[in-house]
Structure 1
Amino acid sequence: MAKHNVVFSFLVSLFLASLIPLVCDATKSGDESNKLHIVYMGSLPKEASYSPSSHHLSLLQHVVDGSDIENRLVQSYKRSFNGFAVVLNDQQREKLVGMKGVVSVFPSQESWDFLGLPQSFKRDQTIESGLVIGVIDSGIWPESESFNDKGLAPITKKWRGVCDGGVNFSCNKKIIGARFYAVGDVSARDKFGHGTHTSSIVGGREVNDVSFYGLANGIARGGIPSSRITAYKSCNDFGTCTNDAILAAFDDAIADGVDVITISLGAHNAIDFLSDSISIGSFHAMENGILTVHSVGNTGPVPSSVCSVSPWLFSVAATTTDRKFIDKIILGNGQTFIGKSINTIPSNDTKFSIAVHNAQACPIRGNASPEKCDCMEKNMVKGKLVLSGSPSGQLFSFTSGAIGVILNASQYDFDASLVTKNLTLKLESKDFVQVQYYKNSTSYPVAEILKSEIFHDTGAPRIISAPGVEILTAYSPLNSPSMDISDNRKVKYTILSGTSMSCPHAAGVVGYVKSFHPDWSPAAIKSAIMTTTTPVKGTYDDLVGEFAYGSGNINPKQAIEPGLVYDITKQDYVQMLCNYGYSAEKIKQISGDNSSCHGTSERSLVKDINYPAIVVPILKHLHVKVHRTVTNVGFPNSTYKATLIHRNPEIMISVEREVLSFKSLNEKQSFVVNVVGGEKLNQTLFSSSLVWSDGTHNVKSPIIVHISL
């Protein structure tokens, strides 16, 4: 099977390079073109006589030799939507693409108390205990104390799932369901650690006196500790995930009756809806009233690097928290610099010699392994601290016997500290240069790296959306905390960073809001969370504002009382797909009903979907109108006034109907945002905000203007 660059959405050390997994090869002997494909067929037909399995086999009989069908058919999706996963060559794929009832055929690629939600916060334990969170990930470690079921009420009667956890796996009243899909797996047990970590963030029970080797000691708990968890293991024990397994998890999770889905997996970039298993699965979750929370990826703030773009997904980036892990290096001349790492090794006043790694002298050629790179003589770095201006130097240095590595961190990756087996310290460039100068100007340069410590960061949060940096929660004791195969440490709790960690934080808030408003649609819940965020502190590029930082940092207390929401129905999404350019026949198959495209279908009308954020494509001098509708969920009699926050006088933004008056709850009012580009524009991105306020509620929507000069 072809390999693709799709990864878990969390930050890992360079040692992961030695653990890159391979998917079981679906190529049959003598036919290199055979690959595992997903055949998506839209919604399930409503006729009682329709048999998905029979239909799938019937289609395959036209393209695959009858005796070989059973060996080629991998998955059949028949509980929540329609389709199957099958091994095909290029010719067979082309035949299926043209068959009636087939929407798309695409390869199954590989995938990979700071929030203001304290223990004493307002909760309804009875409703919370009825919430079921579906976690699509690498499984779960059921023995973790974070998943104990002490004091939990009986399992909710609405639950339709099963505990099919396989070998040596049992559920309880906390973990109420488990399934596994990866080829070769025999259990839903998590050996990789990622799924256990995300599960405990969203719904872990309160566990006292948790730390990582004494660091960050305190109480570990999830966003909704009394909720139930069901684990859908779509990634194998090496952390490799495939789209066919992800779709199978969505198929089961929707039919099982989960309330929220959290999935911290994703591609490196955005994928077309009809070729994206997460977009497809989450669309059918949405039409069943389930909001899917998804990681946006970890390549920000690089422009256009968000991998999660379907509007029915709740796409989440990561913020820092006010707890910061720092480490210090003391040079032989007494100078001290503060860097970032999660280092559990006491220094005991020991100083080591400093060496330098020249990345230019040791390039990676082809598939050459570090062990075969002989350009760095081991006697030059063995037992020393190595200065490396390139992250690749970390791996080369340790395989050459270095005792530690001092890295020059870019402005984008300095915020996150990583767990490593060996002494590793990231320094800001200005400090790295000072250490370089000391090394070059001293005949016997030495330094001491101290054990990490905790620092209260008053500058948090940075980056966007939900906490995802340096998060301490449950982990699988079968994997090392640093993911270094030579690291023999085994822990029950560890620290990870990335949007994988922020995703379940947001899912916890989704569940929290749903516990107060069980009748709200997924779009209404998403709107409530997005429009009540608190501002974030810009650290990279303030010129693009909300385009870089999103809606803001989640504020659970405000989200349960948003005042107004931007609701979106399934038909609204269908019309958006029409405007995007999909054919009427495919739209009907996807929707599973008589949905059709209304009016003129134009790509320019995609902007009018009733989303809580406003994105406007514009040319100079052109006038663009954007339509929105809000629903009153605050006070029955209320009046909201519009305020626009501008940042560029060359962009003229105005609101038609600057005052909205409501007489009852759930009443809807519409308005129009007008945008006109000025003549002197010299930038392509511009951001602003629209705030509707009644004096109590402040409903904020970011406005992003993309200008073609």
Structure 2
Amino acid sequence: MNTPRDMDGHGTHTLSTAGGSPVPGASVFGFGNGTASGGSPRARVAAYRVCFPPVNGSECFDADILAAFDAAIHDGVHVLSLSLGGDPSDYLDDGIAIGSFHAVRRGISVVCSAGNSGPALGTASNLAPWLLTTGASTMDREFPSYIVFDHTKAKGQSLSMTTLPEKTSYPLIDSVKAAAANATTKDAQLCMIGSLDPAKAKGKIVVCLRGINPRVAKGEAVKQAGGVGMVLANDASTGNEIIADAHVLPATQIKYRDGLLLYSYVNSTKKPTGFITRPATVLGTKPAPFMAAFSSQGPNIITPGILKPDITAPGVSVIAAWTRANSPTDLAFDRRRVAFNSESGTSMSCPHVSGVVGLLRTLHPEWSPAAIKSAIMTTAAEMDNKGELILNASSLPSSPFGYGAGHISPARAMNPGLVYDLGDADYLDFLCALKYNATVMAMFKGAPYTCPSEAPRRIADLNYPSITVVNVTAAGATALRKVKNVGKPGTYTAFVAEPAGVAVLVTPSVLKFSAKGEEKGFEVHFKVVNATLARDYSFGALVWTNGRQFVRSPLVVKAALAFD
């Protein structure tokens, strides 16, 4: 346990996603078969254990996280991928924020997960501006398995290795009606272990509701009660987010609306029947990507003037390497062992971004972590493969609070044209703007740091690739930025998609670069013209373009409550 040897699977999965070598014939029980490869497949990888068996409910302590940062810095790594995090806290109390500051100061890019506490707003963690914080979205690969009932064919997803005979119907039952005598209605509805009566469930396909207990454990409860299959129906909060799991019996997970139809049929029909089809692997599905319901969202509750998350990347049903020391479901009753596994979470999207950071580091070794982050953010896509705005799991338009600057576009990030760069002094002055005292500043800097005697720099002026202004009064608000040319000489023109209820003016609106490495500043002025529309957060975008490259920054504006 006191080595990086992986007894769990999480570390193997994430590290192989970031830097695994190409492996042909990778699959999960034959599903998703193909060549698995990490984002930076020629990288040398290092693993640092920071999580241990829980003590008083905690398992990843700041002392261990900071020790790992120290070791990684000493070992000379170029990219750190952190698929972990806790509740948001002030940066001076946050081991990841402190450790990553020292890494970034030394030119090491640090990529973190935003967390799996969505879809509620204000749930994102790892909020420090020197971190590249990643949300999770779907990809255009699915593992469809249908539940067919009453002339209806509802598409679910599954990686069940056992299947029922094709087109052979079985009795269907709501898990509530299969409740054991001593079980509560809620426990039976969620298919808790031991909550179902074998006399009622035996030989039937049981319909369970998603929530609280592990999805695969629900199937184990059905299996123990003698059920032949399970349909897992989403609740309202998880909407259309259906995840392919390695179930222990024939099973499929369906969307919320399809679940309502199924429950209605099962509970209004005398002898309801149906069958579950064998799962398949399908590529090119639409719409994709859309945001996972679990993906934590902004706004940033520690520093509202910094947009988080920064980016989104694939984090649903991701296939990557797995340890033989654990089952594919991480459940004690599951005795199966696999070389590759499908996992979901912002833990899975984080190493996708880390792999791209590794490639950019190789291609542009002179770029700072901030320049790499800017290249990834300003070239990200806001549109899905249907040409529409990225949706959330309820099929409604998402926002920068879900996807940050957008979905990562690795090929475009190689040649962004312009970047928003930042260095040590910028981040230290940002901490000065938070009014941190000399002791705290020395903890971040590693030596005494004197904040500028002039008026502290405003958070709105931190040279971040996204622009967020909050509490905008009738006088308006201004944000200062500067961009560095990392491409050929050329002229860039500003185009603005104005947030609802807000007028935006960019000065100057044309920037002419005569050499690579040249920097030019500009000012973005925001004026609220309709306080009703801008009282809640309002979103837009600023795009600098030379006709070939499009350097896009999200605009996030919130009017002051006392606006007049």
Match of 1:631 among 471, 484, 502: 484
Q: Residues 234 and 412 of structure 1: is their aligned pair in 2 closer, same or farther, counting only changes over 3 Å?
A: farther
* Shift, 1:215, TM fit: 0.7
**Alignment partner, residue 684 of structure 1:** 536
Gaps of 5+ in 2: 292-310, 384-388
Q: What are the equivalent positions in structure 2 for 1:335-414 lying under 5 Å apart?
A: 335-349=152-166, 350-358=168-176, 361-363=184-186, 370=192, 376-392=196-212, 395=217, 397-398=221-222, 400-409=225-234, 410=236, 411-412=238-239, 414=241
Q: Residues 402 and 620 of structure 1: is their aligned pair in 2 closer, same or farther, counting only changes over 3 Å?
A: farther
Q: Residues 212 and 429 of structure 1: is their aligned pair in 2 closer, same or farther, counting only changes over 3 Å?
A: same
For residues 592 and 545 of structure 1, the distance between their equivalents in structure 2, rounded to whole angstroms, comes to 37
For residues 112 and 95 of structure 2, the distance between their equivalents in structure 1, rounded to whole angstroms, comes to 12
Determine if contact 2:243/2:253 at 8 Å carries over to the other structure.
no
Q: Please say if 1:222 is aligned against 2:38.
A: yes
For residues 379 and 543 of structure 2, the distance between their equivalents in structure 1, rounded to whole angstroms, comes to 10
Pair member with larger Rg: 1
Fraction of identical pairs, as percent: 35
> 1:14-50: CA deviations, max 9, x gaps?
xxxxxxxxxxxxxxxxxxxxxxxxxxxxxxxxxxxxx
In structure 2, the residue corresponding to 1:225 is in which secondary structure?
A: coil
**Alignment partner, residue 446 of structure 2:** 592
Q: What are the equivalent positions in structure 2 for 1:261-660 lying under 5 Å apart?
A: 261-267=80-86, 269-331=87-149, 333-349=150-166, 350-358=168-176, 361-363=184-186, 370=192, 376-392=196-212, 395=217, 397-398=221-222, 400-409=225-234, 410=236, 411-412=238-239, 414-456=241-283, 457-463=285-291, 465-536=312-383, 537-540=389-392, 545-600=399-454, 605-635=458-488, 637-648=489-500, 650-660=501-511
In structure 2, the residue corresponding to 1:681 is in which secondary structure?
A: helix
Determine if contact 1:571/1:595 at 8 Å carries over to the other structure.
no
TM-score in terms of structure 1 length: 0.69
For residues 544 and 605 of structure 1, the distance between their equivalents in structure 2, rounded to whole angstroms, comes to 29
Determine if contact 1:580/1:601 at 8 Å carries over to the other structure.
no
**Alignment partner, residue 145 of structure 1:** none
Determine if contact 1:206/1:222 at 8 Å carries over to the other structure.
yes
Gaps of 5+ in 1: 1-184
Determine if contact 2:390/2:397 at 8 Å carries over to the other structure.
no
* Shift, 1:609, TM fit: 0.8
Determine if contact 2:379/2:550 at 8 Å carries over to the other structure.
yes
For residues 403 and 274 of structure 1, the distance between their equivalents in structure 2, rounded to whole angstroms, comes to 53
Determine if contact 2:390/2:398 at 8 Å carries over to the other structure.
no
In structure 2, the residue corresponding to 1:666 is in which secondary structure?
A: coil
Q: Residues 500 and 695 of structure 1: is their aligned pair in 2 closer, same or farther, counting only changes over 3 Å?
A: same
**Alignment partner, residue 203 of structure 1:** 19
Determine if contact 1:192/1:237 at 8 Å carries over to the other structure.
no
Q: Residues 216 and 390 of structure 1: is their aligned pair in 2 closer, same or farther, counting only changes over 3 Å?
A: closer
In structure 2, the residue corresponding to 1:266 is in which secondary structure?
A: coil
Determine if contact 1:544/1:686 at 8 Å carries over to the other structure.
no
For residues 24 and 275 of structure 2, the distance between their equivalents in structure 1, rounded to whole angstroms, comes to 33
For residues 306 and 564 of structure 1, the distance between their equivalents in structure 2, rounded to whole angstroms, comes to 28
Q: Residues 608 and 211 of structure 1: is their aligned pair in 2 closer, same or farther, counting only changes over 3 Å?
A: same
For residues 398 and 271 of structure 2, the distance between their equivalents in structure 1, rounded to whole angstroms, comes to 47
Determine if contact 1:466/1:553 at 8 Å carries over to the other structure.
yes
Greater RCO between the two (CA within 8 Å, min separation 6)?
2
TM-score in terms of structure 2 length: 0.86
In structure 2, the residue corresponding to 1:317 is in which secondary structure?
A: strand
Q: Residues 412 and 232 of structure 1: is their aligned pair in 2 closer, same or farther, counting only changes over 3 Å?
A: farther
What is the one-letter code of the residue matched to 2:425? Q
* Shift, 1:484, TM fit: 2.2
Moved more, 516-525 or 440-449: 440-449
Q: Please say if 1:249 is aligned against 2:101.
A: no
**Alignment partner, residue 142 of structure 1:** none
Moved more, 299-308 or 400-409: 400-409
What is the one-letter code of the residue matched to 1:245? D
Q: What value does the CA root-mean-square deviation take over the aligned residues? A: 2.5
Moved more, 562-571 or 617-626: 617-626
* Shift, 1:370, TM fit: 4.9
For residues 136 and 3 of structure 2, the distance between their equivalents in structure 1, rounded to whole angstroms, comes to 31
Determine if contact 1:578/1:601 at 8 Å carries over to the other structure.
no
Q: What are the equivalent positions in structure 2 for 1:128-207 lying under 5 Å apart?
A: 185-207=1-23
Determine if contact 1:384/1:404 at 8 Å carries over to the other structure.
yes
